[in-house]
Structure 1
Amino acid sequence: MAGDFLTVFTASFVTFFVLIDAVGVAPIFASLTARGTPAYRANMAWRSIVVASIIIFGFAFCGAWLLEQLHITIDAFRAAGGVLLFLIALDMVFEKRTERRETRADEYLEEHEKPDDVSVFPIGIPMLAGPGSIATAMLFMSQSETWEQKGAVLSAIAVNMVLCLIVFLVASPLVKALGESVAGAITRIFGVILAALSTQLIIDGIIGAFNIG
Protein backbone atom coordinates (compact mmCIF):
# COMPACT_ATOMS: atom_id res chain seq x y z
CA MET A 1 0.00 0.00 0.00
CA ALA A 2 2.83 2.37 0.87
CA GLY A 3 4.44 1.66 -2.50
CA ASP A 4 1.21 2.52 -4.28
CA PHE A 5 0.98 5.83 -2.41
CA LEU A 6 4.59 6.67 -3.23
CA THR A 7 4.14 5.83 -6.92
CA VAL A 8 1.05 8.02 -7.31
CA PHE A 9 2.57 10.80 -5.21
CA THR A 10 5.76 10.86 -7.27
CA ALA A 11 3.93 10.95 -10.61
CA SER A 12 1.53 13.63 -9.36
CA PHE A 13 4.26 15.72 -7.72
CA VAL A 14 6.43 15.79 -10.84
CA THR A 15 3.48 16.71 -13.06
CA PHE A 16 2.27 19.54 -10.84
CA PHE A 17 5.82 20.73 -10.23
CA VAL A 18 6.28 21.13 -13.97
CA LEU A 19 2.86 22.69 -14.55
CA ILE A 20 2.88 25.18 -11.68
CA ASP A 21 6.51 26.01 -12.48
CA ALA A 22 7.29 28.03 -9.35
CA VAL A 23 10.79 28.87 -10.60
CA GLY A 24 9.32 30.23 -13.83
CA VAL A 25 6.67 32.30 -12.05
CA ALA A 26 9.13 33.68 -9.47
CA PRO A 27 10.59 36.40 -11.77
CA ILE A 28 7.07 37.55 -12.66
CA PHE A 29 6.07 37.65 -8.99
CA ALA A 30 9.23 39.58 -8.13
CA SER A 31 8.58 42.19 -10.82
CA LEU A 32 4.91 42.63 -9.89
CA THR A 33 5.72 43.14 -6.22
CA ALA A 34 8.99 45.05 -6.61
CA ARG A 35 7.39 48.40 -5.74
CA GLY A 36 6.01 47.17 -2.42
CA THR A 37 7.51 46.65 1.02
CA PRO A 38 8.80 43.27 2.27
CA ALA A 39 5.57 42.90 4.28
CA TYR A 40 3.53 43.55 1.12
CA ARG A 41 5.52 40.95 -0.85
CA ALA A 42 5.07 38.37 1.90
CA ASN A 43 1.34 39.09 2.05
CA MET A 44 0.99 38.70 -1.72
CA ALA A 45 2.93 35.43 -1.59
CA TRP A 46 0.65 33.95 1.06
CA ARG A 47 -2.55 35.19 -0.54
CA SER A 48 -1.65 34.02 -4.04
CA ILE A 49 -0.91 30.52 -2.75
CA VAL A 50 -4.21 30.44 -0.84
CA VAL A 51 -6.16 31.55 -3.91
CA ALA A 52 -4.47 29.04 -6.22
CA SER A 53 -4.85 26.23 -3.67
CA ILE A 54 -8.58 26.86 -3.22
CA ILE A 55 -9.11 26.73 -6.97
CA ILE A 56 -7.00 23.64 -7.66
CA PHE A 57 -8.31 21.69 -4.65
CA GLY A 58 -11.85 22.74 -5.53
CA PHE A 59 -11.59 21.28 -9.01
CA ALA A 60 -9.79 18.22 -7.64
CA PHE A 61 -12.76 17.40 -5.39
CA CYS A 62 -15.55 18.47 -7.77
CA GLY A 63 -13.94 17.28 -10.99
CA ALA A 64 -15.53 13.83 -11.02
CA TRP A 65 -18.99 15.29 -10.40
CA LEU A 66 -18.48 17.85 -13.16
CA LEU A 67 -17.41 15.19 -15.65
CA GLU A 68 -20.46 13.11 -14.75
CA GLN A 69 -22.81 16.05 -15.27
CA LEU A 70 -21.24 16.76 -18.67
CA HIS A 71 -21.38 13.04 -19.62
CA ILE A 72 -17.64 12.96 -20.30
CA THR A 73 -15.76 9.68 -19.80
CA ILE A 74 -12.48 9.63 -17.94
CA ASP A 75 -10.72 8.25 -21.03
CA ALA A 76 -11.94 11.17 -23.15
CA PHE A 77 -10.88 13.61 -20.45
CA ARG A 78 -7.52 11.88 -20.12
CA ALA A 79 -6.84 12.19 -23.87
CA ALA A 80 -8.04 15.81 -23.99
CA GLY A 81 -5.95 16.66 -20.94
CA GLY A 82 -2.94 15.06 -22.58
CA VAL A 83 -3.38 17.21 -25.69
CA LEU A 84 -3.73 20.36 -23.56
CA LEU A 85 -0.62 19.53 -21.53
CA PHE A 86 1.33 18.78 -24.72
CA LEU A 87 0.50 22.23 -26.08
CA ILE A 88 1.67 23.76 -22.80
CA ALA A 89 4.86 21.68 -23.02
CA LEU A 90 5.55 23.06 -26.52
CA ASP A 91 5.12 26.59 -25.19
CA MET A 92 7.57 25.86 -22.39
CA VAL A 93 10.19 24.35 -24.70
CA PHE A 94 10.03 27.31 -27.08
CA GLU A 95 9.57 29.81 -24.19
CA LYS A 96 6.24 31.09 -25.51
CA ARG A 97 4.69 30.53 -22.09
CA THR A 98 7.30 32.71 -20.42
CA GLU A 99 6.82 35.44 -23.02
CA ARG A 100 3.07 35.52 -22.41
CA ARG A 101 3.60 35.67 -18.65
CA GLU A 102 6.03 38.57 -19.00
CA THR A 103 3.69 40.40 -21.36
CA ARG A 104 0.81 39.96 -18.93
CA ALA A 105 2.98 41.24 -16.09
CA ASP A 106 4.14 44.27 -18.10
CA GLU A 107 0.56 45.15 -19.01
CA TYR A 108 -0.45 44.91 -15.36
CA LEU A 109 2.40 47.16 -14.25
CA GLU A 110 1.48 49.74 -16.88
CA GLU A 111 -2.09 49.89 -15.59
CA HIS A 112 -1.17 50.02 -11.89
CA GLU A 113 1.41 52.58 -10.84
CA LYS A 114 1.13 51.73 -7.14
CA PRO A 115 1.42 48.28 -5.52
CA ASP A 116 -1.91 46.53 -5.77
CA ASP A 117 -3.36 43.13 -4.91
CA VAL A 118 -1.83 40.72 -7.44
CA SER A 119 -2.69 37.59 -5.47
CA VAL A 120 -5.87 36.75 -7.41
CA PHE A 121 -4.86 38.03 -10.83
CA PRO A 122 -2.46 37.47 -12.42
CA ILE A 123 -0.50 35.35 -9.90
CA GLY A 124 -3.22 33.13 -8.40
CA ILE A 125 -5.04 32.89 -11.73
CA PRO A 126 -3.83 31.98 -14.31
CA MET A 127 -0.12 31.72 -13.50
CA LEU A 128 -0.47 29.16 -10.70
CA ALA A 129 -4.00 27.80 -11.09
CA GLY A 130 -4.01 27.69 -14.87
CA PRO A 131 -5.84 25.40 -17.30
CA GLY A 132 -3.10 22.78 -17.09
CA SER A 133 -2.98 22.45 -13.30
CA ILE A 134 -6.78 22.55 -13.00
CA ALA A 135 -7.32 19.90 -15.68
CA THR A 136 -4.58 17.71 -14.23
CA ALA A 137 -6.06 17.89 -10.72
CA MET A 138 -9.42 16.76 -12.10
CA LEU A 139 -7.77 14.04 -14.17
CA PHE A 140 -5.61 12.54 -11.43
CA MET A 141 -8.43 12.54 -8.89
CA SER A 142 -10.88 11.01 -11.38
CA GLN A 143 -8.56 8.13 -12.22
CA SER A 144 -7.60 7.47 -8.58
CA GLU A 145 -9.44 4.33 -7.49
CA THR A 146 -8.74 4.40 -3.75
CA TRP A 147 -8.63 7.08 -1.08
CA GLU A 148 -4.95 6.28 -0.66
CA GLN A 149 -4.32 7.29 -4.26
CA LYS A 150 -6.50 10.38 -3.89
CA GLY A 151 -4.56 11.29 -0.76
CA ALA A 152 -1.32 10.94 -2.69
CA VAL A 153 -2.58 13.34 -5.38
CA LEU A 154 -3.79 15.88 -2.83
CA SER A 155 -0.51 15.60 -0.92
CA ALA A 156 1.44 16.23 -4.11
CA ILE A 157 -0.59 19.37 -4.79
CA ALA A 158 -0.12 20.57 -1.21
CA VAL A 159 3.66 20.03 -1.27
CA ASN A 160 3.91 21.93 -4.54
CA MET A 161 1.96 24.82 -3.06
CA VAL A 162 4.30 24.92 -0.05
CA LEU A 163 7.34 24.89 -2.32
CA CYS A 164 5.81 27.66 -4.40
CA LEU A 165 5.25 29.73 -1.26
CA ILE A 166 8.89 29.29 -0.23
CA VAL A 167 10.07 30.31 -3.71
CA PHE A 168 7.86 33.42 -3.65
CA LEU A 169 9.12 34.45 -0.21
CA VAL A 170 12.70 34.39 -1.49
CA ALA A 171 11.80 35.44 -5.05
CA SER A 172 13.97 38.54 -5.34
CA PRO A 173 17.32 36.99 -4.29
CA LEU A 174 16.40 33.76 -6.08
CA VAL A 175 15.87 35.53 -9.40
CA LYS A 176 19.21 37.31 -9.05
CA ALA A 177 20.99 34.07 -8.17
CA LEU A 178 19.55 32.02 -11.05
CA GLY A 179 19.67 34.57 -13.83
CA GLU A 180 17.51 34.55 -16.94
CA SER A 181 19.58 31.93 -18.81
CA VAL A 182 19.39 29.34 -16.02
CA ALA A 183 15.67 29.94 -15.48
CA GLY A 184 15.08 29.54 -19.21
CA ALA A 185 17.03 26.27 -19.30
CA ILE A 186 15.04 24.90 -16.35
CA THR A 187 11.77 25.82 -18.07
CA ARG A 188 12.82 23.98 -21.24
CA ILE A 189 13.77 20.87 -19.29
CA PHE A 190 10.39 20.93 -17.53
CA GLY A 191 8.74 21.29 -20.94
CA VAL A 192 10.38 18.13 -22.28
CA ILE A 193 9.33 16.17 -19.19
CA LEU A 194 5.77 17.47 -19.49
CA ALA A 195 5.68 16.53 -23.19
CA ALA A 196 6.51 12.92 -22.29
CA LEU A 197 3.90 12.84 -19.52
CA SER A 198 1.22 14.33 -21.77
CA THR A 199 1.99 11.85 -24.56
CA GLN A 200 1.50 8.99 -22.12
CA LEU A 201 -1.88 10.44 -21.07
CA ILE A 202 -3.00 10.62 -24.70
CA ILE A 203 -1.92 7.02 -25.31
CA ASP A 204 -3.71 5.81 -22.15
CA GLY A 205 -6.85 7.70 -23.13
CA ILE A 206 -6.94 6.20 -26.61
CA ILE A 207 -6.27 2.69 -25.29
CA GLY A 208 -9.06 3.01 -22.73
CA ALA A 209 -11.57 4.57 -25.12
CA PHE A 210 -11.15 1.95 -27.82
CA ASN A 211 -10.46 -1.00 -25.46
CA ILE A 212 -7.13 -1.71 -27.13
CA GLY A 213 -5.10 -4.48 -25.61
Structure 2
Amino acid sequence: MHLLKPLVALLAIVNPIGAIPFFLHFTQNLTREQRKRTVRVASIASFTVIATSAIAGLQIIEFFGITIASFQVGGGLLLLVSSMNMLNAQQAESRGSDVGDGQAKADAGDSIAIVPLTIPLLTGPATISTMVIYADKTRTLFEHAVLVGYGVVIGAATFASFAAAGRIARLLGRTGINVMTRLMGLILAAMAVELLSDGLTKLFPALAGGVPH
Protein backbone atom coordinates (compact mmCIF):
# COMPACT_ATOMS: atom_id res chain seq x y z
CA MET A 1 0.00 0.00 0.00
CA HIS A 2 1.36 3.42 -0.98
CA LEU A 3 1.40 5.27 2.34
CA LEU A 4 0.71 8.75 0.94
CA LYS A 5 -2.41 7.80 -1.03
CA PRO A 6 -4.71 7.59 2.03
CA LEU A 7 -3.54 11.01 3.28
CA VAL A 8 -4.12 12.68 -0.09
CA ALA A 9 -7.55 11.06 -0.32
CA LEU A 10 -8.47 12.11 3.22
CA LEU A 11 -7.43 15.74 2.73
CA ALA A 12 -9.45 15.91 -0.49
CA ILE A 13 -12.56 14.32 1.05
CA VAL A 14 -12.52 16.07 4.45
CA ASN A 15 -11.59 19.49 2.96
CA PRO A 16 -11.57 21.46 6.26
CA ILE A 17 -11.09 24.77 4.43
CA GLY A 18 -14.30 24.18 2.51
CA ALA A 19 -16.13 23.61 5.81
CA ILE A 20 -15.26 27.08 7.18
CA PRO A 21 -18.52 28.73 5.93
CA PHE A 22 -20.55 26.04 7.67
CA PHE A 23 -18.53 26.53 10.87
CA LEU A 24 -19.25 30.28 10.74
CA HIS A 25 -22.97 29.62 10.35
CA PHE A 26 -23.30 27.03 13.09
CA THR A 27 -21.26 29.02 15.65
CA GLN A 28 -22.48 32.57 14.92
CA ASN A 29 -24.30 32.92 18.26
CA LEU A 30 -21.50 31.52 20.41
CA THR A 31 -19.02 33.58 22.40
CA ARG A 32 -15.34 33.62 21.49
CA GLU A 33 -14.47 31.09 24.20
CA GLN A 34 -17.36 28.80 23.23
CA ARG A 35 -16.26 29.00 19.59
CA LYS A 36 -12.70 28.04 20.58
CA ARG A 37 -14.09 25.07 22.49
CA THR A 38 -16.12 24.06 19.43
CA VAL A 39 -12.93 24.18 17.33
CA ARG A 40 -11.16 21.89 19.81
CA VAL A 41 -14.05 19.43 20.04
CA ALA A 42 -14.43 19.27 16.23
CA SER A 43 -10.68 18.65 15.80
CA ILE A 44 -10.59 15.88 18.40
CA ALA A 45 -13.80 14.35 17.02
CA SER A 46 -12.36 14.33 13.48
CA PHE A 47 -9.27 12.50 14.70
CA THR A 48 -11.40 10.07 16.71
CA VAL A 49 -13.66 9.17 13.78
CA ILE A 50 -10.70 8.59 11.42
CA ALA A 51 -8.67 6.62 13.96
CA THR A 52 -11.67 4.49 14.96
CA SER A 53 -12.54 3.86 11.31
CA ALA A 54 -8.95 2.73 10.63
CA ILE A 55 -8.83 0.42 13.65
CA ALA A 56 -12.32 -1.07 13.80
CA GLY A 57 -14.54 0.64 11.21
CA LEU A 58 -15.56 -2.49 9.34
CA GLN A 59 -16.20 -4.43 12.56
CA ILE A 60 -18.39 -1.63 13.99
CA ILE A 61 -20.46 -1.39 10.81
CA GLU A 62 -20.90 -5.18 10.71
CA PHE A 63 -21.78 -5.29 14.42
CA PHE A 64 -24.71 -2.93 13.90
CA GLY A 65 -25.69 -4.71 10.72
CA ILE A 66 -25.54 -1.59 8.57
CA THR A 67 -23.82 -0.86 5.28
CA ILE A 68 -21.87 2.13 3.97
CA ALA A 69 -24.84 2.76 1.64
CA SER A 70 -27.23 3.04 4.61
CA PHE A 71 -24.75 5.33 6.32
CA GLN A 72 -24.69 7.51 3.20
CA VAL A 73 -28.48 7.84 3.20
CA GLY A 74 -28.52 8.77 6.89
CA GLY A 75 -25.72 11.29 6.42
CA GLY A 76 -27.47 12.75 3.39
CA LEU A 77 -30.66 13.31 5.39
CA LEU A 78 -28.69 15.08 8.14
CA LEU A 79 -27.05 17.36 5.59
CA LEU A 80 -30.40 18.08 3.93
CA VAL A 81 -31.95 19.24 7.22
CA SER A 82 -28.93 21.47 7.91
CA SER A 83 -29.06 22.93 4.40
CA MET A 84 -32.75 23.84 4.79
CA ASN A 85 -31.94 25.74 7.99
CA MET A 86 -29.12 27.59 6.23
CA LEU A 87 -31.31 28.53 3.26
CA ASN A 88 -33.92 29.89 5.68
CA ALA A 89 -31.18 31.73 7.62
CA GLN A 90 -32.13 29.88 10.81
CA GLN A 91 -29.45 29.70 13.47
CA ALA A 92 -28.23 26.29 14.44
CA GLU A 93 -29.06 24.71 17.80
CA SER A 94 -29.63 28.00 19.64
CA ARG A 95 -32.98 28.89 18.03
CA GLY A 96 -35.43 30.04 20.67
CA SER A 97 -32.95 29.79 23.54
CA ASP A 98 -32.04 32.50 26.01
CA VAL A 99 -28.89 34.31 24.93
CA GLY A 100 -27.82 34.58 28.56
CA ASP A 101 -27.86 30.82 29.06
CA GLY A 102 -24.10 30.30 28.77
CA GLN A 103 -24.02 26.63 29.73
CA ALA A 104 -26.76 25.73 27.27
CA LYS A 105 -24.86 27.52 24.50
CA ALA A 106 -21.63 25.76 25.46
CA ASP A 107 -23.44 22.42 25.30
CA ALA A 108 -24.91 23.44 21.94
CA GLY A 109 -21.41 24.26 20.71
CA ASP A 110 -20.22 20.77 21.64
CA SER A 111 -23.25 19.27 19.94
CA ILE A 112 -22.66 21.31 16.77
CA ALA A 113 -18.99 20.27 16.77
CA ILE A 114 -20.02 16.60 16.58
CA VAL A 115 -23.16 16.85 14.39
CA PRO A 116 -23.20 18.20 11.75
CA LEU A 117 -19.65 19.67 11.63
CA THR A 118 -17.66 16.47 12.23
CA ILE A 119 -20.32 14.00 11.12
CA PRO A 120 -21.26 14.11 8.33
CA LEU A 121 -19.67 17.35 7.00
CA LEU A 122 -16.00 16.61 7.71
CA THR A 123 -15.86 12.88 8.31
CA GLY A 124 -18.91 11.43 6.63
CA PRO A 125 -19.56 8.12 4.88
CA ALA A 126 -16.93 8.82 2.21
CA THR A 127 -14.21 9.35 4.83
CA ILE A 128 -15.22 6.32 6.88
CA SER A 129 -15.47 4.05 3.85
CA THR A 130 -12.08 5.32 2.59
CA MET A 131 -10.44 4.45 5.92
CA VAL A 132 -12.10 1.04 6.01
CA ILE A 133 -10.89 0.27 2.47
CA TYR A 134 -7.29 1.33 3.15
CA ALA A 135 -7.25 -0.42 6.54
CA ASP A 136 -8.25 -3.62 4.77
CA LYS A 137 -5.19 -3.21 2.49
CA THR A 138 -2.67 -2.82 5.33
CA ARG A 139 -0.23 -5.69 5.76
CA THR A 140 1.82 -4.58 8.77
CA LEU A 141 1.21 -3.00 12.17
CA PHE A 142 3.32 -0.01 11.05
CA GLU A 143 1.04 0.67 8.07
CA HIS A 144 -1.99 0.51 10.35
CA ALA A 145 -0.33 2.92 12.80
CA VAL A 146 0.39 5.33 9.93
CA LEU A 147 -3.33 5.33 9.01
CA VAL A 148 -4.21 6.23 12.60
CA GLY A 149 -1.52 8.92 12.52
CA TYR A 150 -3.22 10.50 9.51
CA GLY A 151 -6.13 11.18 11.84
CA VAL A 152 -3.80 13.50 13.79
CA VAL A 153 -2.97 15.34 10.55
CA ILE A 154 -6.66 15.79 9.71
CA GLY A 155 -7.42 16.94 13.26
CA ALA A 156 -4.62 19.53 13.06
CA ALA A 157 -5.81 20.73 9.64
CA THR A 158 -9.35 21.07 11.00
CA PHE A 159 -8.10 23.06 14.00
CA ALA A 160 -6.03 25.42 11.82
CA SER A 161 -8.89 26.01 9.37
CA PHE A 162 -11.58 26.66 11.97
CA ALA A 163 -9.25 28.81 14.08
CA ALA A 164 -8.93 31.17 11.10
CA ALA A 165 -12.71 31.40 10.70
CA GLY A 166 -13.00 34.39 13.05
CA ARG A 167 -10.73 36.54 10.88
CA ILE A 168 -12.73 35.53 7.81
CA ALA A 169 -15.97 36.49 9.59
CA ARG A 170 -14.63 39.96 10.46
CA LEU A 171 -13.53 40.43 6.86
CA LEU A 172 -16.94 39.48 5.43
CA GLY A 173 -19.17 41.27 7.93
CA ARG A 174 -22.76 40.29 8.82
CA THR A 175 -24.16 40.90 5.32
CA GLY A 176 -21.39 38.90 3.68
CA ILE A 177 -21.92 36.00 6.09
CA ASN A 178 -25.69 35.99 5.42
CA VAL A 179 -25.13 35.90 1.66
CA MET A 180 -22.50 33.17 2.01
CA THR A 181 -24.75 31.18 4.36
CA ARG A 182 -27.55 30.96 1.79
CA LEU A 183 -25.10 30.15 -1.02
CA MET A 184 -23.43 27.39 1.01
CA GLY A 185 -26.87 26.13 2.07
CA LEU A 186 -27.66 25.57 -1.60
CA ILE A 187 -24.32 23.80 -2.12
CA LEU A 188 -24.91 21.70 1.00
CA ALA A 189 -28.35 20.69 -0.32
CA ALA A 190 -26.72 19.53 -3.56
CA MET A 191 -24.12 17.55 -1.55
CA ALA A 192 -26.96 15.96 0.44
CA VAL A 193 -28.79 14.92 -2.73
CA GLU A 194 -25.54 13.38 -4.08
CA LEU A 195 -25.09 11.37 -0.89
CA LEU A 196 -28.72 10.25 -0.87
CA SER A 197 -28.63 9.36 -4.57
CA ASP A 198 -25.42 7.34 -4.24
CA GLY A 199 -26.63 5.54 -1.12
CA LEU A 200 -30.09 4.77 -2.51
CA THR A 201 -28.76 3.39 -5.81
CA LYS A 202 -26.46 1.09 -3.84
CA LEU A 203 -29.34 -0.05 -1.64
CA PHE A 204 -31.76 -0.35 -4.56
CA PRO A 205 -29.76 -1.10 -7.76
CA ALA A 206 -32.98 -1.06 -9.81
CA LEU A 207 -33.09 2.73 -9.31
CA ALA A 208 -29.89 3.11 -11.35
CA GLY A 209 -31.53 1.44 -14.32
CA GLY A 210 -34.25 4.07 -14.46
CA VAL A 211 -31.90 7.06 -14.71
CA PRO A 212 -32.14 8.63 -18.21
CA HIS A 213 -28.89 9.07 -20.15
TM-score by length of 1: 0.67
Q: What value does the CA root-mean-square deviation take over the aligned residues?
A: 3.6
Provide the C-alpha distance between the structure 2 equivalents of 1:49 and 1:93, rounded to a whole number of angstroms: 24
- Match in the other structure for 2:180: 186
CA contact (8 A) 1:28 1:101 kept: no
Mapped partners of 2:13, 2:128: distance in 1: 15
Amino acid at match of 1:22: F
Residues 1:60 and 2:60 aligned together:
no
Structure-1 separation of matches of 2:184 and 2:172: 16
Note closer, same or farther for the CA distance 1:182–1:188 as it changes in structure 2 (3 Å cut).
Answer: same
The count of residues paired between Structure 1 and Structure 2 equals 188
| Residue 157 of structure 2 corresponds to residue 167 of structure 1 | no
Identity of aligned residues (%): 18
**1:140, CA displacement in angstroms?**
2.5
Secondary structure of the corresponding residue to residue 95 of structure 1 = coil
What secondary structure sits across from 1:110 in the alignment? Answer: coil
Q: Which moved more, 1:48-57 or 1:81-90?
A: 48-57
Given that 1:84 and 1:132 are in contact with CA atoms closer than 8 Å, whether structure 2 keeps it comes out as no
Shift of the 10–24 alpha-carbon distance from structure 1 to 2, 3 Å rule, reads same
Cα offset, 1:205, TM superposition: 0.9
- What is the CA–CA distance in structure 2 between the aligned matches of 1:122 and 1:206, rounded to whole Å? 31
Aligned counterpart for 1:49 among listed residues 28, 34, 39: 39
1:60, 1:204 → 2: CA distance?
22
* 2:190 matched residue in structure 1: 196
Distance 1:175 1:8 in 2: 26
Deviation at 1:73, TM superposition (A): 0.8
SS at match of 2:100: helix
Deviation at 1:126, TM superposition (A): 1.9
- Say whether the 8 Å CA contact 2:73–2:196 is kept in structure 1: yes
Structure whose residues are more often helix by fraction: 1
The question of whether the paired residues in 1 share the 8 Å contact of 2:42 and 2:117 is answered with no
TM-score by length of 2: 0.67
Distance 1:88 1:11 in 2: 19
Which ranges in structure 1 are unaligned for 5 or more consecutive residues?
34-40
SS at match of 1:28: coil
Asked if the contact 1:24/1:187 (under 8 Å) is kept, the reply is yes
In structure 2, the partner of 1:17 is 19
